[in-house]
Amino acid sequence: MSFEHPELEIGGHSVAAFEPLFVIAEIGLNHGGSIDRALALVDAAADAGAPAVKFQTLEAAALVAPGAPAPAHVQAGSMSEFFSQFELDEVAHGRMIERARRRGLVVMATPFSEASVDMLAQLGIDAFKIASGDITWKGLITRCARTRKPMVISTGMAGLNEAAQALDWARLAGASGIALLHCVSAYPVPQGHENLRAITALSHAFGVPVGLSDHAADGFSLPLAVALGAAIYERHLVLAAHDGSIDGAVSSTPEQLAELVHTAARARAALGSGQKVCLPAERPNKLASRRALYSTRGLAAGHLISASDLIALRPGIGLSAERQEDLVGLVLQRDMEPGMAFLDRDLVTAREVDRVA
């Protein structure tokens, strides 16, 4: 099933392929456990022009088992100790949300436990994000959906069957709207492994807005994603390059994010409506560039027009060059000097005389 322009609304923003790209500044773990740093990242997201900011809400004890191995991009002896340094409590979340509201941002969050869903809903976030690693966790997806808030589900490491299953769970539990994000869960994504055509595949398969959660080292993929119909773009944010942030390798600085926002708008504008028409920007050149039919020599009224009497020249101020075959064989009704343009009325009057005869 697919729709031409599937859309949903998040925090008053229409999210669809034909709308301005919905850019989510992902704070993630880049706050390093500091509420002051988290607030600074919220401000940086707003200053960069992103319409939305997203947090990750976690509690180490509810995320990893004792002795859990580290993923490929993390170096840590204990994953529990690793994640515990990024825990922010309800008060801290309230302060981040209040700052985001003050800056006019849409607020989203990724819960990593069912209990955190209730806290985030009570704090009034606008939408939930399901991380790629939790796409097969029915309990979490169902819990988020039951809040009736919009949901964005990331599909890293998943196939179409798992994406379909997650969508079904969310819909059956009452999610008010759902989008999917194509994602490659490598940090950073190796060049040539972005698989951006999966954006189109997800859109065609499920008929929901689709976007990109970008874990590449730079923003090269963004305009390509827009061209492929992406409605959402998620990018991690750091305050400065090489500032030691945990996700720095897949993050953009505020200046870089601002440039990405600008690039997205430019790419969207460049794509246009898709209708093949003469555009306002080119309309002034139409007359000067098109050809009309001109006389190759002096012609007298009553002359039977032949192909040798005609030449197609610019500008197109007279009878269009496409009408040559219509004009040949008719009797000219007026005198013409060399280089004069044939006019529409030459065709009409000649045919009228022919009918009378």
Report the pLDDT value the prediction gives residue 351, as an integer from 0 to 100: 72
Give pLDDT, residue 179: 98
Among the residue ranges 61-75, 99-113, 177-191, the one predicted with the least confidence is: 61-75
The yes-or-no verdict on residue 4 having pLDDT over 60 is no
| Phi, psi at 152, each rounded to 5° | -120, 125
Question: pTM score, two decimals?
Answer: 0.89
**What are the phi and psi torsion angles at 246 (to 5°)?**
-60, -35
For residue 348, the model assigns a pLDDT of: 84
Query: For residue 126, which of 104, 95, 158 has the smallest C-alpha distance?
Result: 104
DSSP label of 226: H
The mean pLDDT of 201-212, rounded to a whole number, is: 97
Token pair belonging to 298: 């002096």
Q: What is the pLDDT of residue 199?
A: 98
Mean pLDDT of 334-346: 97
pLDDT at 3: 41
- pLDDT of amino acid 350: 72
Range name among 9-18, 152-161, 206-215, 343-352 with the lowest pLDDT average: 343-352
Strands (E), 244-340: 251-252, 292-295, 310-313
Confidence of residue 75 (pLDDT cuts 50, 70, 90): low
Q: How far apart are CA 55 and CA 33, in angstroms?
A: 12
Is residue 108 within 8 Å of residue 24, measured between CB atoms?
yes
pLDDT per residue as tens digits for the range 274-314: 999 999 999 999 999 999 999 999 999 999 999 999 999 99
- Region class of 68: left (phi > 0), else alpha (psi between -120 and 50), else beta: beta
Spell out the alpha helix ranges (H) of 173-240.
Answer: 198-206, 221-227
Q: Is the peptide bond before 209 cis (omega within 30 degrees of 0)?
A: no
At residue 74, the pLDDT reads 73
For residue 213, give both structure tokens: 């959660």
* Strand segments (E) across the chain: 7-10, 13-16, 22-28, 52-57, 106-111, 127-130, 151-154, 178-183, 210-213, 232-237, 251-252, 292-295, 310-313
Please state the rounded mean pLDDT for residues 188-212: 98
Residue-averaged pLDDT of the chain: 94
Pairing state between β 178-183 and 151-154: parallel
Query: What domains sit in the chain, N to C, each tagged with a CATH number?
Result: 7-271 (3.20.20.70), 283-356 (3.90.1210.10)
What value does the mean pLDDT take over residues 153-181? 97
Instruction: Give the CA angle between residues 21, 26, 28 to the nearest 5°.
Output: 165
Instruction: Please state, in angstroms and rounded to a whole number, the distance separating the CA atoms of residues 343 and 209.
Output: 52
pLDDT band at 111 (very low <50, low <70, confident <90, very high): very high
Per-residue pLDDT, 76: 66
**Model pLDDT for residues 212-267, shown as the tens digit of each residue:** 999 999 999 999 999 999 999 999 999 999 999 999 999 999 999 999 999 999 99
Is the predicted pLDDT of residue 197 greater than 50, yes or no?
yes
What does residue 282 show for φ and ψ, rounded to 5 degrees? Answer: -105, -10
Q: Does 356 have pLDDT greater than 60?
A: no
pLDDT of residue 77: 66
Q: Tell me: pLDDT of 322 over 90.
A: yes
Instruction: Supply the pLDDT for residue 68.
Output: 78
Place of tokens 């999610």: 175
Q: How far apart are CA 29 and CA 245, in angstroms?
A: 8
Give me the residues paired with residue 100 across strands.
none
- What DSSP assignment string belongs to 329-357? TPBP-S-B-TTPBP-HHHHHHHHHHHHH-
Partnered with residue 81 across adjacent β-strands are: none
pLDDT tens string 22-68? 999 999 999 999 999 999 999 999 999 999 999 999 999 999 998 87
